[in-house]
């Protein structure tokens, strides 16, 4: 067969139209929690682990414990993407000035998150700030230079953290320049646009009133980097997380709202008042098109954190000025004669001995002053210069007397960064060497703390913040209608604690809101997730919501949301904590807890139960099927709004919905073998409905479990379109 050849000219290719009958997505999750950096109380869409890291950074140590207490948001998002998730929305929560003002009614700076500020070298009076609040910018160093490419001076900025640098610019230095630095936005401003794409951005943002800067003192080379202005509060205080309670996660105007009032109140605040929705109530502000928001799952993994209190600082034992090994040439000449033993405390060449003429004491390098307490990670050591050409020898020890000291570096630089990964006292000694001569040693030391806060002990754990957040999540899911909450228990909870927790949730919901329990599933125990590298492996023990959400997404995308998301192998899990013994499994099952366990195929969730004790709503796949149908009804029903309320419209609705339901029957979404025993569709309208411009569509379906009909009622009254559930 001859290949097809196109004649020269213009070719018009018409793409095929989008398939209109595709089912709505049910594989997108919303995560709410504590992040290292990024915008606060604002939903941001991410499509990968790298996308999350570009906006929200990495892991955050919150408090000291048997193992450091780490924020659960980042590992949960990683677990979601590693187990089949392809898209997620993330809301970072923190005690910001806006949140505290809403709760307290007054402006305050106590315990609220702040952004670090920096001076710009070479520009008198110029200041910038970190692009988002938090202690992530503590080790940020800023430098500047000019760009002359357009025949005028423009500003270039560089921000460095460790070995990573982000360059931004060039920018105009005047507010009137079209490329002005003052046009830049911080993370909160940038992601206020729903169309903003998650990705790498500048780590710096403008601060203060716009004014023209004089760049004349800058040159074409980067200036000496400078750090942030001193800040006396602890990192957790600057993160806005030092006071752990339910307020961090909730909008005060919606925290106590009932299910019936929650949706309308949130819509009024969002659309009429123009008020940002804070905390997990930002779920009502997640964009997703004209029909419904993208996410169908909500997880708030940090709600089960133990809480923390200020830690009593340890006392650093001052390093002893121990000089180490005394050089032989300090005690005698370099020859065949026997060298006398070194005297204790000898700190320079012995002038009473016959020494070589070249023997002398070099100028001693002196350590720059360090903060007494350092966080775990990279610590930069700096010292003064000795003599030109000198080599510096750096030793490390765990004791103040430098017993057991080991050489860890030698070179000609005046700075070296050391990696400290554990808590405790660390001591360092530096000396100079040149042509066989050495200097006196300089010593320094510091304490390493992973956090200035101590995790609350298990015996003192207060479940009240978790319970308040859980009630708010349940009400939000029920008010939105098509959301499912993934919950976990505190790590130390056993079967009796789990049963008491579920019972308390049911007691706190009024009778007309108890069905909200069908919008949530509870998973236990926690998972150990690997981090680090093959050379330095480590793991984090975190709640299981993230990996479970990934299996939900994988099952919904590959086979359908109406199938139970259980017995699916979970990736990136190496262990479970705590160990659940076989004798406890029945007790957990009676409490309707979905247990994680190790099976021959890997780690799996063994059940797919909701928290509801209603027979019809006890299975997650039933709730997820009804959420899918709700979305389908909204999408298929919306085009009929404003159509004439007559027989023609009703027949069109019957055809449209009938085709959709028949397709779901073929896919196996319902229990019956055909439409007769799988669903029932009624579009009859009474005379009163017609006269009032109202059209009611009653849709009853039989999920795979249980084998009875559940009913969805679609009602159109004027321009209002609603979907409600009935038994």
Q: What mean pLDDT comes out for the span 287-306?
A: 86
φ, ψ at 365 (rounded to 5°): -70, 150
- Do 403 and 476 belong together in one domain? no
Q: Give 531: exposed, middle or buried? Use CB within 10 Å, 0-12, 13-18, 19+.
A: middle
- Do 476 and 562 belong together in one domain? yes
Distance CA 479, CA 472 (A): 10
Distance CA 236, CA 71 (A): 12
Distance CA 253, CA 278 (A): 9
202, pLDDT greater than 60: yes
Query: Which among 656, 637, 655 is positioned nearest to 695, based on CA atoms?
Result: 637
84, pLDDT greater than 50: yes
Six-digit token pair at 112? 């609220």
- Do 218 and 270 belong together in one domain? no
DSSP secondary structure of 4-17: P-PPSS-----PPP
Q: Which residues contact 590 (CB under 8 A, 6 or more apart)?
A: 499
- Do 68 and 33 belong together in one domain? yes
Task: Give me the CATH number covering residue 595.
Answer: 3.40.50.11780
Please give the pLDDT value at position 441: 87
Nearest-5° angle of CA 13, CA 17, CA 20?
175
Distance CA 586, CA 578 (A): 16
Distance CA 310, CA 452 (A): 6
- Do 177 and 199 belong together in one domain? yes
Cis, bond preceding 525 (omega within 30 deg of 0)? yes
Nearest-5° angle of CA 37, CA 490, CA 84?
60
Please give the pLDDT value at position 707: 37
- Do 530 and 582 belong together in one domain? yes
Query: Which among 181, 203, 197, 32 is positioned nearest to 131, based on CA atoms?
Result: 203
| Cα 156 versus chain centre, distance | 30
Distance CA 36, CA 152 (A): 38
Distance CA 257, CA 725 (A): 20
Question: Is there a domain that residue 564 lies in?
Answer: yes
Placement of tokens 């055809």 in the chain: 655
The lowest-confidence range among 50-64, 266-280, 389-403, 663-677 is 663-677
Six-digit token pair at 692? 């009032």
- Do 501 and 587 belong together in one domain? yes
Question: Is there a domain that residue 504 lies in?
Answer: yes
Residue 94, domain extent: 29-106+252-309+463-609
- Greatest mean pLDDT among 3-17, 606-620, 628-642, 647-661 lies in 606-620
> Does pTM surpass 0.85?
no
Q: Give 229: exposed, middle or buried? Use CB within 10 Å, 0-12, 13-18, 19+.
A: exposed
Distance CA 189, CA 180 (A): 16
Instruction: Name the residue with higher pLDDT: 563 or 110.
Output: 563
Six-digit token pair at 280? 């997990």
Confidence category of residue 653, pLDDT binned at 50, 70, 90: confident
- Do 474 and 604 belong together in one domain? yes
Considering all CA atoms of the chain, what is the largest pairwise distance in Å, rounded to the nearest integer? Answer: 122
- Do 492 and 361 belong together in one domain? no
Residue 531 contacts residue 539 (beta carbons within 8 Å): yes
Cis, bond preceding 578 (omega within 30 deg of 0)? yes
* pLDDT digits 0-9 by tens, 553-580: 999 999 888 888 988 999 988 999 999 9
- Do 536 and 507 belong together in one domain? yes
Question: Is there a domain that residue 417 lies in?
Answer: yes
Question: Is there a domain that residue 363 lies in?
Answer: yes
Please give the pLDDT value at position 6: 46
């Amino acid at each position: 067969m001859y290949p097809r050849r196109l004649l020269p000219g213009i070719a018009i290719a018409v793409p095929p139209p989008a398939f209109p009958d595709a089912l709505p997505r049910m594989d997108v999750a919303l995560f709410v929690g504590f992040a290292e950096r990024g915008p606060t109380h604002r939903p941001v869409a991410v499509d990968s682990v790298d996308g999350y890291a570009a906006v929200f950074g990495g892991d955050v140590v919150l408090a000291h414990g048997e193992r450091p207490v780490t924020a659960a948001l980042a590992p949960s998002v990683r677990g979601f993407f590693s187990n089949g998730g392809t898209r997620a929305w993330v809301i970072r929560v923190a005690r910001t000035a806006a949140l505290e003002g809403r709760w307290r009614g007054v402006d305050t700076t106590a315990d609220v998150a702040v952004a670090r500020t920096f001076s710009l070298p070479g520009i008198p009076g110029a200041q910038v700030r970190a692009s988002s609040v938090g202690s992530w910018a503590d080790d940020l160093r800023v430098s500047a230079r000019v760009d002359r490419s357009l025949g005028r001076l423009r500003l270039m900025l560089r921000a460095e953290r460790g070995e990573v640098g982000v360059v931004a610019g060039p920018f105009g230095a005047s507010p009137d320049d079209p490329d002005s630095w003052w046009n830049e936005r911080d993370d909160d401003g940038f992601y206020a646009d729903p169309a903003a794409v998650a990705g790498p951005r500048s780590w710096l943002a403008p601060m203060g009133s716009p004014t023209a800067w004089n760049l004349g003192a800058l040159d074409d080379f980067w200036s000496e980097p400078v750090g942030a202005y001193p800040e006396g509060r602890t990192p957790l205080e600057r993160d806005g997380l030092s006071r752990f309670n339910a307020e961090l996660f909730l909008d005060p105007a919606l925290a106590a709202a009932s299910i019936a009032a929650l949706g309308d109140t949130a819509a009024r605040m969002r659309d009429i008042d123009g008020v940002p929705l804070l905390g997990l109530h930002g779920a009502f502000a997640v964009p997703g098109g004209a029909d419904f928001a993208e996410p169908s799952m909500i997880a708030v993994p940090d709600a089960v954190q133990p809480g923390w209190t200020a830690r009593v600082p340890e006392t650093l034992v001052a390093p002893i000025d121990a000089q180490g090994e005394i050089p032989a040439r300090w005690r005698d000449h370099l020859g065949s004669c026997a060298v006398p033993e070194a005297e204790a405390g000898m700190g320079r060449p012995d002038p009473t001995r016959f020494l070589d003429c070249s023997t002398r004491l070099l100028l001693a390098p002196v350590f720059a002053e360090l903060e007494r307490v350092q966080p775990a990670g990279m610590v930069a050591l700096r010292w003064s210069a000795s003599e030109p050409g000198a080599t510096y020898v750096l030793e490390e020890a765990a004791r103040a007397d430098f017993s057991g000291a080991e050489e860890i570096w030698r070179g000609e630089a005046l700075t070296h960064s050391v990696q400290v990964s554990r808590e405790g006292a660390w001591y360092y000694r530096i000396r100079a060497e040149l042509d066989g001569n050495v200097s006196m040693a300089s010593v320094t030391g510091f304490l390493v703390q992973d956090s200035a806060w101590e995790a609350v002990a298990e015996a003192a754990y207060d479940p009240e913040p978790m319970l308040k957040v859980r009630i708010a999540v349940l009400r939000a899911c029920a008010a939105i209608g098509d959301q499912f909450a993934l919950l976990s228990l505190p790590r130390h909870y056993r079967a009796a604690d789990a049963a008491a927790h579920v019972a308390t949730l049911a007691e706190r919901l009024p009778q007309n809101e108890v069905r909200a329990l069908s919008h949530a599933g509870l998973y236990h125990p926690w998972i150990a997730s690997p981090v680090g590298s093959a050379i330095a492996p480590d793991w984090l023990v975190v709640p299981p919501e993230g990996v479970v959400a990934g299996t939900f997404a994988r099952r919904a995308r590959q086979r359908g949301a109406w199938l139970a998301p259980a017995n699916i192998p979970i990736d990136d899990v190496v262990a479970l904590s705590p160990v659940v013994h076989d004798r406890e499994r029945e007790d957990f099952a009676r409490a309707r807890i979905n247990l994680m366990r190790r099976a021959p195929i890997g780690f799996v969730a063994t059940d797919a139960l909701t928290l509801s004790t209603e027979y019809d709503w006890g299975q997650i796949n039933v709730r997820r099927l009804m959420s899918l149908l709700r979305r389908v009804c909204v999408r298929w029903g919306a085009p009929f709004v404003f159509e004439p309320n007559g027989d023609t419209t009703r027949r069109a609705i019957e055809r449209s919905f009938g085709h959709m339901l028949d397709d779901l029957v073929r896919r196996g979404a319902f229990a019956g073998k055909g439409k007769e025993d799988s669903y029932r569709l009624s579009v009859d309208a009474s005379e009163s409905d017609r006269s009032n411009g109202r059209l009611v569509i009653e849709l009853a379906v039989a999920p795979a479990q249980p084998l009875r009909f559940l009913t969805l009622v679609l009602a159109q009254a004027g321009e209002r379109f609603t979907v409600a559930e009935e038994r």
